[in-house]
Chains A and B, each alone.
Chain A
Amino acid sequence: MTVVFSLSDVTLGYDRHPAVHHLTGSFLAGSLTAVVGPNGSGKSTLLKGLIGLLSPLDGRLERNGLHRRDIAYLPQQAEIDRSFPISVMETVLLGHWRKIGLFRPVTRTLRRQAEEALVAVGLDGFGRRPIASLSAGQFQRVLFARMLLQDCPVVLLDEPFTAIDAKTTADLLAVVTRWHGERRTVIAVLHDLDQVRENFPDTLLISREPIAWGSTAEVLRAEHLFQARQMAEAWDDRAEICRRSVV
């Protein structure tokens, strides 16, 4: 099995304070992994580290030749200006970034693919609507359509279904399952453990430190979850230098 991300003793954080401490392991190509843990346990930080928006404070994180463009990333709180005067179609077309970049034209084929992506997420005929007129769930569908067009071998999702209605969640989970069927690597931060058990073969449980990583049934055991809750400690202003760091 090819490894997509390999981490050896990776520590990620802000301003020298670790948010993810000493994580070792690897994400295999084609795997579908849920990242779970309490609030503040470093799940989002881990995704930012994987895509390269954040450099490790310590340890080694290898992407095995993956470029930034090869990773589709849905942040938890997208910095998207939802009042911006742009249409659904134009937003989805951004997914063709690898083909159009800043300067190349949008061809008829690319436009047709965008329409198909809208159909796939249940937004047939929404192309001309301004994004400001969409509900939160519809807008999340638009972002998934954009990721469909990005056509990336790796997809990172940060809490994609938080504050989203059940119908939309089910439809978008079907998209995630479809990606898994296409042998793409999908890593998703999630909170709903039942959802994880039903749809995600692998799970990484972290609470600032890795608790367990492996098959979902094995990882989501009661003692692991209890341990995770114990370890979600707070930011310490007077924290000492970590002695586990290899100098």
Chain B
Amino acid sequence: MDPYAALIQPFVEFEFMRRALVACLALSLGCGPVGVLLVLRRMSLVGDALSHAVLPGAAIGFIIAGLSLVVMSFGGFIAGLAVAVLSGLVARVTPQREDASFAAFYLISLALGVLIVSTRGSNVDLMHVLFGTILAVDDASLQLVVSIATLTLVILAVIGRGLIIECFDPGFLRAVGGPGAALHFAFLMLVVMNLVAGFHALGTLMAVGLMMLPAAAARFWAGQVATLAATSSAIAFAAGYAGLLLSYHASLPSGPAIILIAGGIYIVSVAAGPRGSLRTRFLPRRHLEA
């Protein structure tokens, strides 16, 4: 197969492939920096918890309005935000740490979601919620995903400094009277928003993959917040592009294909990236003069 047919032709030929690629680009731009901030805040698993928390909201939305992406997204957003706010409140008002309160509330949410899904029996459409439908992204959901990415980048540009301080030195922000709690909740809102965008394309189970894997991989390539975010977005888009091609040529489901490619990039980064990877540890170069 010649390179053109392998790498470009599917997107020229099929509209659904082009839409899927644009959705991946939008998701990458939003999820890249958000994922990096999650990793830096040591909240990687909170992203996972929130992605599960979205389920009951999306399921209720599905029951109310059928396969309406807007209603399902709205439901998912509300459910995710509820879990984020409740666990954040417990962590700030009581001595319990945020990881424990997040685990508690996301499990409640997940159980609720599974309950709702199971009472509806084996509905095929509901499988789309769980596993995503990036190859069937319509205009409405593409607009939603792109809007969320745009909004995310604008919000990050406005509150980025605050998020970095709140993450790097929360004690300082508190001591100077900065709005630490407001920034934290604004950030959790960004996470939920981007997970909702992701579940259209990748499903609730896989949405967090495009957020965490590129961010985790970027750590082995870049050393500043801005370069980490750019690297993470680039890796996410590369995974989206390669994953779509893999799913097209090998007739595989697109969501897992994209996330598996991202996982592959992560493993290569751990093994061979220039910063702190296994290669730099086990094949050290000669030390420097100063």
Contacts and interface: CB of A to CB of B under 8 A. Distances in A.
Interface in A19-76: 51, 53, 67-69, 71, 73, 75
Where chain B touches its partner, the secondary structure class is helix
B287 to A, nearest CB: 14
A124 to B, nearest CB: 16
A53 B173 CA distance: 12
Contacts of A235: none
Interface residues of B, number: 24
A71 B175 contact: yes
Nearest to A74: B175
Contacts of B172: 78, 80, 94
Nearest to A150: B176
Contacts of B159: 102
B175 A80 contact: no
B250 to A, nearest CB: 37
A103 interface: yes
A97 B178 contact: yes
Contact of A94 (B169, B225, B228): B169
Contact of A80 (B161, B168, B228): B168
Contact of A85 (B158, B161, B171, B224): B224
A84 B168 contact: yes
B3 interface: no
Given A102-B159, A102-B162, A103-B158, A86 B168 contact: yes
Contacts of A94: 165, 169, 172
Given A79-B169, A79-B171, A102-B162, A85 B225 contact: yes
Contacts of A86: 164, 168, 224-225
B158 A80 contact: no
B253 interface: no
B167 A81 contact: yes
Interface string B127-165: 000000000000000000000000000000011011011
Nearest to B160: A102
Contacts of B168: 80-81, 84, 86, 91
Contacts of B161: 102-103
B223 interface: yes
B86 to A, nearest CB: 23
Contacts of B222: 85
Interface in A94-133: 94, 97-98, 102-103, 130
A69 B177 contact: yes
B175 to A, nearest CB: 4
A97 B165 CA distance: 11
Interface in A154-194: none
A132 to B, nearest CB: 9
Contacts of B40: 81, 84-85
A240 to B, nearest CB: 24
Contacts of B169: 78-81, 91, 94
**7 tightest Cβ-Cβ pairs between the two chains A and B:** A68-B177, A79-B171, A73-B175, A84-B168, A102-B162, A80-B169, A97-B176
Interface of B: 40, 158-159, 161-162, 164-165, 167-172, 174-179, 222-225, 228
